[in-house]
Amino acid sequence: MNSPSSTPSPIVIATRESQLAMWQAEHVQAILRSRGHTVELLGMTTKGDQILDRALSKVGGKGLFVKELEVALEEGRADLAVHSLKDVPMELPQGFVLACVMTREDPRDAFVSNKYASLTELPQGAVVGTSSLRRQALLQALRPDLKIEPLRGNVNTRLRKLDEGQYDAIVLAAAGLMRLEMSDRIRAKFEPAQMLPAAGQGALGIEVRADRQDIIDALAPLAHMPTWLTVTAERAVSRCMGGSCSMPLAAFGRFEGDTLHMQAAWGDLEGQKQGQNGLISVQASAEVKDFASANSLGEQLAARLQAAGAVPASPKQD
């Protein structure tokens, strides 16, 4: 049992108050407590939770889910924040770092429907809910006949809208449903070959102030290095492409031994670029043993995307 004497007592975790965010924070809380730390939660509502009538790509991006938590860290009201890594901007504000990336849950997307068992069973012109431009591009590549409609809100809100009949099916991250013990709602999981996951999907990242070495040390035992290296490469693809929720971009890696096999896909929602089913897909592999080689592989993959015709976004803070 580790002594918490070298860290603040208690450690305060800033978290969004959605059911999934609370699960994630409580998960980290339980692990830290098992290591001898006293841990409390600071629940917060972010702008991303409040703005539900517009797509994130139109109101400021994924950073809307983390900004208030970062303010709490900056002001010393909290010591760390637990995030779904796919919601974390590729560039953190100055003075903040990812102190830890934990073991990844299933990174795949889930097909959820009350009437149909899979995407192939959906009738012509069926309505599918998602506000992810990545999922929209990949769905359109698989089934150009589908009608893709926006879908915002937390997991329970999205499921309620499906149950009310607003959609024939919706697509959610499998990890969120599994963490909330809602696996029974999953009718099918998309293999990466069908629907490539978002960078960092299924992984939890813990953000702290860069000057809080005491907290960084306390979190070190929670890190899972294979996951951390994989998502570092994935996020490097997005960073080089200027990726955010305003870009239909996917990046996903898998280790085999020391070799990380990476795939990336960029969707052309405007239909101006040539590619199979409107997608540009590339892949690359390399031996990855540290963050430098992970970043290098991600940068190489982004360069291949651009060489194939993918258009990077203008640099901006997500």
**Active-site residue numbers?**
87
Give exposure, 139-160, as e/b (b: 16+ Cβ within 10 Å): bbbebeebebbebbebbeebbe
Quote the tokens at residue 214. Answer: 């005491």
Give exposure, 252-286, as e/b (b: 16+ Cβ within 10 Å): bbeeeeeebbbbbbbbbeeeeeebeebbbbbebbb
Contact 171, 109 (CB under 8 A): yes
The residues, ordered by sequence, that sit 6+ positions from 165 with a Cβ below 8 Å of its Cβ are none
Strand order in the sheet with 249-256: 249-256, 259-267, 279-287
Alpha helices in the chain (DSSP H): 19-34, 47-50, 56-59, 67-74, 133-142, 155-163, 174-179, 213-219, 225-241, 291-307
* Phi, psi dihedral angles at 297 (to 5 degrees): -65, -40
